[in-house]
Structure 1
């Protein structure tokens, strides 16, 4: 087995000596390369010192092609002497039950199976083979959907606490060591090892948004900027840092301005509400004293307090209701109310902006 360093930009710092690392292997080029790269790094003069295993998820889709993917992964792991676990899930049933898109249903089932290894203490980390190309595509999709900074952060190199609570802290990690590696470099690596891989025909299905971004939009953007993938990856890293800062800042600020329940005649507040109702408020004057960036974050945090994630459009409407900015069809008059998704209601009183939501 070759022991030369496989990639220039892969993140070895995500891998800790002694860790049991389970590689999610679909049979495609990226995951096949990740498995080989970890094994090669374990065979270097200064080895990683990790214990490598693999997992494959059969999604119950694509018939004989999916069966062939599983057979390929089984043969690969047997040849490389890597322990393998195979999970079979019913993606179509999940999609129907949860009313999700096919990609979303498959992703949720896949990660649930992989995190099960962490919950059961069978692995310390699950490694997925997301690449720089995947990162750029993800950020572009988020931009098209009008995401906030948490969305623009794209794919995180490491997600801690992905397993189970252990002695008061979250254990287990999902790691992406190839997030700085281009797809073309991965294919070159495999070809240099004379290692084949499986091609998923659905990766060419242009009815799927990601495939349209990958095959239609990204080539056009590279015509404007050949380094657009790197630029989008840098944007993701900046957005993750920004989001980390703001999460801590809002957590510090929110207790100072959040008012539980609703005001009652004669003063005071009624914290107890109707069965299943969640309610909180903020004084409009307190919002007015905040910089716009803080005000926007506080409004979104108040939505989360009652179990709702405000979109960019909804946040703008709530701010307009409080008298900050203009949105067509929204008035800041006293007594005005917004009816938003998931049963969320926001009402403007003389002094407060009140959020409430019935249990759904």
Structure 2
């Protein structure tokens, strides 16, 4: 829960008591450590000091990001680091390698940093977004013709904790001034160069004069949209959705999408893609809805925004698989060396040297003569391998199909070659020349396995 209940009396409560009550409510039912996202501005410095005073045991680290946009950004990060250390807190500080040229670029760089820090501490991110930030975001999204999903704005269900979302900037300002807390005012807050600044300084004040109830009406719309999104997420939680360990791929039974209307599919597909970190736009949603009824196992489509949707079958039945696109395998490093030391990591795969020969025949294992030159690279279209069942050679694609390796996984599958000829496709097949006979103590045995599955 991110805010106080509507019936909570706030008119006569002291600023400090109000913020402490807000934090108590926000932290109810929230387990695990927290990473505070602190920029050096007034709202985030209020978060830093409030958490340090009333919930210090929950703080894993304070994260501050220098966008490399000038002296203010560096001074703000220095202020955060100094204040956090004075409070006895761990600080993680990073400076952008390149200066972003838009709000979106700054946001992406900042969130990439915050997510990395949170993963490192196995924690949730806490931000200082306020009621005013929520109002501005709802209005901006309404101007861009967002639907209900977008209008939930900062109140949408997420792993990010936003305790100040029901608190105004003015309420935070009163507490900061009463406590004499240090902060820096971001000069961009006064700028009209970007849409948020124009909404904050021009549009909302003008509307408030003409329609004083406008802000509350927009916030109510945002809250209803957020509740609608929570209902959608609860529905998906009950539908057998499975997400892999690193959050890049999920599966859902095809019946979940096929048993609803096209309108229902247009609601569910963006929610599913969001679970792998992809924002699906209107065109992508329409493509996903059209793909839903294709009914051809093995088919797939790639969507703008970095998502791929595939239809496949496994032991659980017919599934849709949604994944966040990974960098192309051509960017991977090809291992060209000796069988004595295969690469511990290869993409999302791991080669593990075994002390003894495995007792059972296993396509995930191979024995290689010592000091043999080998190459490990990703699979390529046209790869052929000679096996006992096909001594003249057969396309690896057929073995992938027989082993039920999804089409989308194949470009990232490792292939081991000796003298330029595929000898081993882990988990799929071993070549005719693979030295797998027992009683060969000079062989070095390896097991290959996917690292994050």
TM-score (norm 1): 0.62
CA distance 1:341–1:157, shift in 2 (3 Å): closer
Rounded Cα–Cα distance in structure 2 between residues aligned with 1:107 and 1:144: 20
Q: 1:78 aligns to what?
A: 85
* TM-fit CA distance, 1:226: 3.5
Q: 1:211 aligns to what?
A: 197
Instruction: Tell me, yes or no, if the aligned pair for 2:118 and 2:124 is still in contact at 8 Å.
Output: yes
Higher RCO (CA < 8 A, seq sep 6+):
1
Instruction: Tell me, yes or no, if the aligned pair for 1:53 and 1:84 is still in contact at 8 Å.
Output: yes
Q: Does 1:145 align with 2:144?
A: yes
Q: 1:263 aligns to what?
A: none
* TM-fit CA distance, 1:119: 1.7
Q: 1:347 aligns to what?
A: none
Q: Which deviates the most, 109-118 or 207-216?
A: 109-118
Q: 1:104 aligns to what?
A: 104
CA distance 1:300–1:126, shift in 2 (3 Å): closer
Q: Which deviates the most, 12-21 or 300-309?
A: 300-309
Rounded Cα–Cα distance in structure 2 between residues aligned with 1:235 and 1:133: 14
Instruction: Tell me, yes or no, if the aligned pair for 2:37 and 2:126 is still in contact at 8 Å.
Output: yes
Q: 1:57 aligns to what?
A: 65
Trace 1:163-242 onto structure 2 (pairs within 5 A): 174-242=160-228
- The alignment partner of 2:93 has SS state of strand
Instruction: Tell me, yes or no, if the aligned pair for 2:134 and 2:165 is still in contact at 8 Å.
Output: yes
Instruction: Tell me, yes or no, if the aligned pair for 2:33 and 2:124 is still in contact at 8 Å.
Output: yes
- Alignment length, in residue pairs? 265
* Counterpart pick for 2:19 among 7, 19, 24: 7
Instruction: Tell me, yes or no, if the aligned pair for 1:17 and 1:50 is still in contact at 8 Å.
Output: no
- The alignment partner of 2:115 has SS state of helix
Q: Does 1:156 align with 2:123?
A: no
Q: Specify which structure has the higher proportion of helix.
A: 1
CA distance 1:301–1:195, shift in 2 (3 Å): closer
Instruction: Tell me, yes or no, if the aligned pair for 2:15 and 2:171 is still in contact at 8 Å.
Output: no
* Counterpart pick for 1:297 among 245, 264, 272: 264
Q: 1:311 aligns to what?
A: 282
* TM-fit CA distance, 1:256: 4.6
Rounded Cα–Cα distance in structure 1 between residues aligned with 2:236 and 2:150: 17
Instruction: Tell me, yes or no, if the aligned pair for 2:20 and 2:50 is still in contact at 8 Å.
Output: no
Rounded Cα–Cα distance in structure 2 between residues aligned with 1:151 and 1:26: 25
Rounded Cα–Cα distance in structure 2 between residues aligned with 1:49 and 1:107: 28
Structure 2 runs not aligned, ≥5 long: 1-13, 240-251, 291-302, 306-324, 329-453
Instruction: Tell me, yes or no, if the aligned pair for 2:136 and 2:196 is still in contact at 8 Å.
Output: yes
Rounded Cα–Cα distance in structure 2 between residues aligned with 1:7 and 1:130: 14
Structure 1 runs not aligned, ≥5 long: 43-47, 96-100, 161-173, 260-285, 320-339, 343-358
Which structure has the bigger radius of gyration? Answer: 2
Question: What is the aligned-residue RMSD (CA, Å)?
Answer: 3.9
